[in-house]
Amino acid sequence: MTTLPAFGRRSALGFAAAGLLAPLGAARGQQPTIRVGAPLPLTGPLAPEGIKQRNGYDFWAAAANARGGVDVAGTKHRVEIVYADYASNTPRAVQTAERLITQDRVNFLFSPFGSGAAKAASSVNERYGIPTIAATASSEQVYDQGYKFLFGTFTPNSTLTEPLAEIVTGANPQVRRVAVLARNDLFPLAIGQEMVASARKRNLQVVFDEKYAIGTMDHASAITQMRAQRPDWVFATGYTNDLILIRKQMADLGLRAPVVTMIAGPAYREFISATGRQAENITSAAWWHPAVRYQGQDLFGTTESFNQAWEQRFNAEPDYAEASAAAAGAILQMAVEAARTIEPAKVRDALAAMDATTFYGRVKFGPTGQITSLEPPVFQIQGGQPRVIFPQGIKQADLRFGVG
Amino acid sequence: MSGLRDWALLVLGVAVLAALPMVADNYTLRLGTVFCMYAALALSWNVIGGFAGYPSFATAAFFGLGAYTCAILQSAGWPMLPALAAGGALAGLFAAAVGGAILHLRGHYFAIASLALAEVLRELATKLEWLTGGGMGLNLPVPAMELHAQAAFFLHLMLGVAALAGAATLLLRGSRLGFALRCIQQNEDAAGMLGVDTRRAKTLAFAISAIFPGLAGGAYASWTHYIEPPDVFDVLLSVKPLVMVLLGGLGTVFGPVVGAGLLLLFEEAVWRSFLTLHAAVLGVIIVVLVLFLPNGLMDATRRLLGRRGRGAA
Amino acid sequence: MLYLQVAANGLVLGGLYACIAVGFSLVWGVLNVINILHGSFIVLGSYLALFAYQVLGLHPFLAILPVAAALYAVGHATQGLLVNRVIAAPVLMTLTLTFGLDLMLNNTMIVAFTADYRRLNLETPLGVLFLGDVVLPGDRVAAMALALLLTGGLWLLLRGTRLGRAVVAVRMDRDAAALMGVNVPRINAVTFGLGAAMAGAAGVLLALIFPVSPLNSGLFLGKAFTVCVLGGLGSVPGALVGGIALGLIESFGALWLGPEWAITISFMVLIAVLALRPDGLLGRRGYA
């Protein structure tokens, strides 16, 4: 081989690659812009989640720009979201976050999807001092690293299982035997463990506590074993595809129970349309629900007007993941407007000091950066619709028993 | 003489990359680090895939094993470099041990057995929570260093791994083992009859092809500070070295390095320009390479397998 | 009772796995091509069945033949136009080619159909069968029966027709078959088409059971690999035996060691079979 020229060419290519990466066409009109980077899993296994996030961010950007932009001390700034796909691959997410900061020169960042990727990428934005909002990271371990620039819009996982356990045991003391089947993956696993903790705390008997591997195509054995334990409460965690399959195989194998809870599928309309009648009476909990009612000080105003605008654009109700993404944008906007500058450190301080009500709920971040002020609603699929059964203030229906 | 020239090239290349932090920003250093990682993986795959002609898909297994060993030892208080070395050594020993069981397979059968190694290790890493943190992943200490210094440090670390892999390839080429591997690639049965200890040669080659991915995995884990099973046992880590070597030239010394640079360039260019269609565009590039640029690729592959591999052993 | 139910679960699951693997095994055995596209072909079959049911109201069982025919055309064209050009090259080349094609097809499906998980819900579900205390889901039993039928049909085709004998001849010795006047490129294309048709038919059946999404293609492909190795490459009974063996291994593995171990065990068995019995559990080679 012609080694010398080839080797020279390689280095040249390396530098060419670096040149290619220079920001393309930053100037666009005269209006100043705020650039927000959003590394998302738009392809690969997490693609459905990534697309929800993108909808939420787009929705905020469009709403902000329709009002002339974000007001920074009297100057309106256009919002521009710079998307990058990391193909559901966490290292790529970290790499992409750094690229967005150093090459695309974004002012702020939205975290990649989920607790794992958000945590992995948080070291990058921390190093560069870029205020970052995580719209889908709930694990406390994401926030307890002592970082100053990371803020999250999900409360810890236990805030989902605690109200669930409270309302179920309160309504029916006969519920004694709990079976937990969790996907062996960050968030679903953590929520399964929280459920076991919440159950034990109330002296419920955990008769089945197992995990299934990512990519499991058959749950028949697990369901057969659960059925043999005659549980009163079946608690399954996973992503939408897992839960659709588990629900179908429960019906196939005749596993019935007074209470069946699934997290995090039932909040998504895809779950309800894919499972049809079998979705009936399944309970779940999420950080937000279209039925909550807040008088927001943010650009979206009340929850109703947010819902309405969303439905006009997407022809469907928003779910909690979409709302959280839109809220991340709205919160960032409020912080920038309060700071009266886009200087990262000042915006960071404004986020840390924030205590405001939005369409999404009350927003106040704890000392670690994770939101502490939300009250996640519990809901149940009734008549093909998710109906809120807790908290009392926004309740739409009573808890019903019996899933068969 | 050509040997001397290649050594000079290796030293020159390493020197150029080592000097990169003086002129480049952090993102370029990150790309440089990825390039070194790719080069190390491709060079290692070339030892078993190119020299010996065994289409291995086990790179991800070695990479993940090295990453987890290094991460676990560092969490237990080991300094980074000894932990890294332990990861490489364990990957090599693991390859030598399983090599005895699967290296008698040929063609597709060997390919599948090597692929399954990574799957088993990934599942085990997910399961053994007390050791690996399971699905929650594992965090590593972040070195207390200024940003640019940190980027430069990990570039140099990964460059060191790549340079070792390059040096090993050069040494191997002129050695008795290298000769034995080429005999095996040409015609394994004949090689055996001529008195080549094929079993020993193949096992050694498999172990060598495992050490550097093991080291690269450890360096990678230290670099990203966070690993989880699906990432470090990713099947793409097994597929990419093969594509790089096919791109650059099989069984050559610097071909895999060129291929690593080309693949990285493709990835970056495609990734930037196509938001959700980049996989399809990468697919088109692969198909076009295979169909319309067969010479560089085909000649090389024919040398790889020599025969029309008919599958079964 | 528990054991009986778990055994029944394993058997019907094994039927599905056999269904997934038959076409893959045929292409590998005859053409010596590892068709990475196989998983995406199955998903494409599922989408066609889904749309046929939702738009035309065509029952999936009636959609099997048209969908298989459509996939046959796709497969025939893929082999005739693309794969035949490098069929004589070493295995790595065809594998890399189908890998590239799969990236294209799968990515296109994600963009065209979105990655959202959907399901084909029959107006009148197939219900469940009771055999004593053992419950058998109707759709899985139907899928298994159809898998048997399709595999039997393929076997008859290969054994009983001129075309089939030409395929078998190519499988045995490509050069000799060419000398005997067999149009090898055409037979290659027919074989690849048959493999794709089997994938399409499997996709229709699987749409009744699994959520439909392009993201499933990798899972299907992985199962096809394992089944082929367990059963022995390129044999019709082998795909059935391998599928059922895998179904039983996963079911009992999940029972004894916990659901999270099911997949690990199947990979360990795979490696063990490869190391000890590379020709598969049946220990026989050759289609039909």
Q: What is the pLDDT of residues C122-150, one digit of tens each?
A: 777 777 888 878 888 888 888 888 878 88
Question: Taking a C-beta distance cutoff of 8 angstroms, is the pair B122, B229 a contact?
Answer: yes
- List of chain B residues whose C-beta atoms are within 8 Å of the C-beta of residue A94: 224
The better pLDDT of the pair A332, C15 is held by: A332
Mind telling me how many Å the CA of B76 is from chain C's nearest CA?
A: 27
Chain B adjacent subunits, 3+ CB pairs under 8 A:
A, C
Alpha-carbon distances, residue C77 vs A333, A394, B288, C170, C214 (angstroms): 54, 58, 17, 19, 21
Q: What are A231's two structure tokens?
A: 């549980």
**Distance, CA of B189 to CA of A308 (rounded, Å):** 74
- List of chain B residues whose C-beta atoms are within 8 Å of the C-beta of residue A95: 30, 34
For residue A243, give the CATH number of its domain: 3.40.50.2300
Output the pLDDT for position A54.
95
**Residue type present at position A241:** N
Sign of CA dihedral B233, B239, B245, B250: positive
Mind telling me how many Å the CA of B241 is from chain A's nearest CA?
A: 17
Output the pLDDT for position B165.
96
Say how many C-beta atoms besides its own lie within 10 A of residue B252's C-beta.
Answer: 21
For residues A255 and A347, state if they share a domain: no
pLDDT above 80: residue A398: yes
Q: Is residue A279 part of a domain?
A: yes
From the list B282, B253, B300, the residue with the least C-alpha distance to B8 is B253
State pLDDT tens for residues B20-41: 988 888 888 989 999 999 999 9
Q: Hey, of C117, C248, C261, which one would you mutate to test binding to chain A, going by the most A CBs within 10 A of its CB?
A: C117
* Range A16-27 average pLDDT: 40
pLDDT above 70: residue A219: yes
- Please report the residues numbered 182 through 241 in chain A whose beta carbons come closer than 8 angstroms to any beta carbon of chain C: 184, 210-213, 215-222, 224-225, 228, 240-241
pLDDT above 50: residue C168: yes
Task: Encode C40-84 in three state secondary structure.
Answer: HHHHHHHHHHHHHHHHHCCCHHHHHHHHHHHHHHHHHHHHHHHHH
Q: What are C57's two structure tokens?
A: 């109201």
Res. C232 pLDDT band, cuts 50 70 90:
confident
For residues A38 and A133, state if they share a domain: yes
Q: Which residues contact A325 (CB under 8 A, 6 or more apart)?
A: A52, A53, A54, A55, A56, A57, A59, A60, A110, A135, A136
Which chain B residue has its CA at the smallest distance from C87's CA? B308
Q: Is residue A12 part of a domain?
A: no
> Distance from CA of residue B133 to its chain's centroid?
25
Burial (CB < 10 A; 0-12, 13-18, 19+), residue B75, is: middle
Give the Cα-Cα-Cα angle A126, A319, A391 (nearest 5 degrees).
Answer: 95
Q: Is residue A92 part of a domain?
A: yes
For residues A164 and A178, state if they share a domain: yes
Token pair 């197992």 in the structure block, residue: A210
Q: What are A176's two structure tokens?
A: 């004694």
Nearest to C267 among B108, B123, B291 (CB): B123
From the list B14, B23, B52, B71, the residue with the least C-alpha distance to B220 is B71
Q: Is residue A5 part of a domain?
A: no
Question: Taking a C-beta distance cutoff of 8 angstroms, is the pair B118, B238 a contact?
Answer: yes
pLDDT above 70: residue A8: no
- List of chain C residues whose C-beta atoms are within 8 Å of the C-beta of residue B312: 233, 278-279, 285
State pLDDT tens for residues B146-184: 778 888 999 999 999 999 999 999 999 889 999 999 888
pLDDT above 70: residue A19: no
From the list C135, C204, C17, the residue with the least C-alpha distance to A250 is C135
Q: Which residues contact A277 (CB under 8 A, 6 or more apart)?
A: none
- List of chain A residues whose C-beta atoms are within 8 Å of the C-beta of residue C215: 44-45, 47, 241
- For chains A and C, CB pairs below 8 A equal 107
**Distance, CA of B189 to CA of B187 (rounded, Å):** 6
First to last CA, chain C: 37
Give buried/exposed letters for A68-98 (b at 16+ CB in 10 A, else e): ebbebeeeebbbbbbbbbbbbbbbbbbbbbb
Whether the bond between A391 and the residue before it is cis, its omega within 30 degrees of 0, is yes
For residues A93 and A128, state if they share a domain: yes
Percent of all residues in chain C with a pLDDT value above 90, rounded to a whole number:
28
Asked whether the beta carbons of residue C88 and residue B304 sit closer than 8 angstroms, the reply is: no
Whether the bond between C224 and the residue before it is cis, its omega within 30 degrees of 0, is no
User: Which residue ranges make up each domain of chain C?
Assistant: 6-122+137-276
Alpha-carbon distances, residue C238 vs B22, C29, C92, C148 (angstroms): 61, 11, 24, 12
For residues A387 and A264, state if they share a domain: yes
Q: Could you list the residue range(s) of the whole structural domain that residue A143 is in?
A: 29-155+292-364
Q: Is residue A21 part of a domain?
A: no
Q: Is residue A137 part of a domain?
A: yes
Q: Is residue A46 part of a domain?
A: yes
Q: Kindly state the helix (H) or strand (E) to which residue B189 belongs, with its residue range.
A: helix B188-193
Question: Taking a C-beta distance cutoff of 8 angstroms, is the pair A223, A250 a contact?
Answer: yes
Asked whether the beta carbons of residue C274 and residue B108 sit closer than 8 angstroms, the reply is: no
* Range A101-122 average pLDDT: 90
Please give the DSSP secondary-structure letter assigned to residue A393.
G
CATH topology of domain C6-122+137-276: ABC transporter involved in vitamin B12 uptake, BtuC (1.10.3470)
Strands A75-85 and A70-72: antiparallel
Q: Hey, of A218, A246, A280, which one would you mutate to test binding to chain C, going by the most C CBs within 10 A of its CB?
A: A218
Output the pLDDT for position A5.
36
Asked whether the beta carbons of residue A11 and residue B16 sit closer than 8 angstroms, the reply is: yes
Q: What residues are paired with C134 via a beta bridge?
A: C131
Put simply, whether B302 touches C (Cβ < 8 Å) is: yes
- List of chain B residues whose C-beta atoms are within 8 Å of the C-beta of residue A128: 147
Alpha-carbon distances, residue A178 vs A157, A167, A181, A379, C87 (angstroms): 18, 15, 10, 19, 57
Sign of CA dihedral C93, C96, C100, C105: positive
Asked whether the beta carbons of residue C89 and residue B101 sit closer than 8 angstroms, the reply is: no
Nearest to A18 among B6, B31, B255 (CB): B31
- HSE-up of residue C94 (Cα within 13 Å, Cβ side): 25
Asked whether the beta carbons of residue B284 and residue C260 sit closer than 8 angstroms, the reply is: no
Chain A adjacent subunits, 3+ CB pairs under 8 A:
B, C
Output the pLDDT for position C195.
93
Res. A24 pLDDT band, cuts 50 70 90:
very low
Asked whether the beta carbons of residue C274 and residue B105 sit closer than 8 angstroms, the reply is: yes
For residues A241 and A388, state if they share a domain: yes
Put simply, whether B216 touches A (Cβ < 8 Å) is: no
**Residue type present at position B245:** V
Chain C adjacent subunits, 3+ CB pairs under 8 A:
A, B
Q: Is residue A369 part of a domain?
A: no
Which chain B residue has its CA at the smallest distance from A182's CA? B135
Output the pLDDT for position A2.
32
The better pLDDT of the pair A114, A192 is held by: A192
Output the pLDDT for position B304.
55
Question: Taking a C-beta distance cutoff of 8 angstroms, is the pair A137, A118 a contact?
Answer: yes
Asked whether the beta carbons of residue B107 and residue C274 sit closer than 8 angstroms, the reply is: no
For chain B, the maximum distance between any two Cα atoms, rounded to a whole number of angstroms, is: 59
Q: Which of A57-61, B228-232, C11-15 has the highest mean pLDDT?
A: A57-61
Nearest to A221 among C9, C107, C219 (CB): C9
> Of A340-349, B142-151, C102-111, where does mean pLDDT reach its minimum?
B142-151
**Distance, CA of A68 to CA of A215 (rounded, Å):** 46
Give buried/exposed letters for A125-135 (b at 16+ CB in 10 A, else e): bbbbebbbbbb
Output the pLDDT for position A20.
40
Asked whether the beta carbons of residue C32 and residue B310 sit closer than 8 angstroms, the reply is: yes
The CA R_g of chain A, rounded to the nearest whole Å, is: 23
Res. C49 pLDDT band, cuts 50 70 90:
very high
Percent of all residues in chain C with a pLDDT value above 70, rounded to a whole number:
96
Asked whether the beta carbons of residue B287 and residue C90 sit closer than 8 angstroms, the reply is: no
Output the pLDDT for position B93.
97
- Where do runs of H (alpha helix) occur along A229-368? 240-252, 269-275, 303-314, 320-339, 344-353
**Residue type present at position B58:** A
Question: Taking a C-beta distance cutoff of 8 angstroms, is the pair C240, C26 a contact?
Answer: no
Domains in chain A, number: 2
Q: Which residues contact A228 (CB under 8 A, 6 or more apart)?
A: C2
From the list C259, C258, C8, the residue with the least C-alpha distance to C133 is C8
For residues A220 and A315, state if they share a domain: no
Percent of all residues in chain A with a pLDDT value above 70, rounded to a whole number:
93
pLDDT above 50: residue A25: no
- List of chain B residues whose C-beta atoms are within 8 Å of the C-beta of residue C286: none
pLDDT above 90: residue A233: yes
Sheet holding A70-72, edge to edge: A70-72, A75-85, A33-40, A108-110, A132-134, A150-152
Asked whether the beta carbons of residue A186 and residue B135 sit closer than 8 angstroms, the reply is: yes
Token pair 């699987």 in the structure block, residue: C206
State pLDDT tens for residues A133-154: 999 999 888 898 889 999 999 9
Mind telling me how many Å the CA of B23 is from chain C's nearest CA?
A: 37
pLDDT above 60: residue A333: yes
Q: Hey, of A184, A194, A209, which one would you mutate to test binding to chain B, going by the most B CBs within 10 A of its CB?
A: A184
Burial (CB < 10 A; 0-12, 13-18, 19+), residue C173, is: exposed
Q: Hey, of B123, B245, B270, which one would you mutate to test binding to chain C, going by the most C CBs within 10 A of its CB?
A: B123
Res. A29 pLDDT band, cuts 50 70 90:
low
Residues lower than pLDDT 70 in chain B: 1-2, 250-251, 293-313
Q: What are A192's two structure tokens?
A: 């399964």
Output the pLDDT for position C283.
56
Output the pLDDT for position B173.
87
Asked whether the beta carbons of residue C278 and residue B313 sit closer than 8 angstroms, the reply is: yes
Q: Which residues contact A212 (CB under 8 A, 6 or more apart)?
A: A181, A182, A183, A184, A219, A222, A238, A242, C259, C260, C262
Which chain B residue has its CA at the smallest distance from C271's CA? B113
| pTM as predicted | 0.84
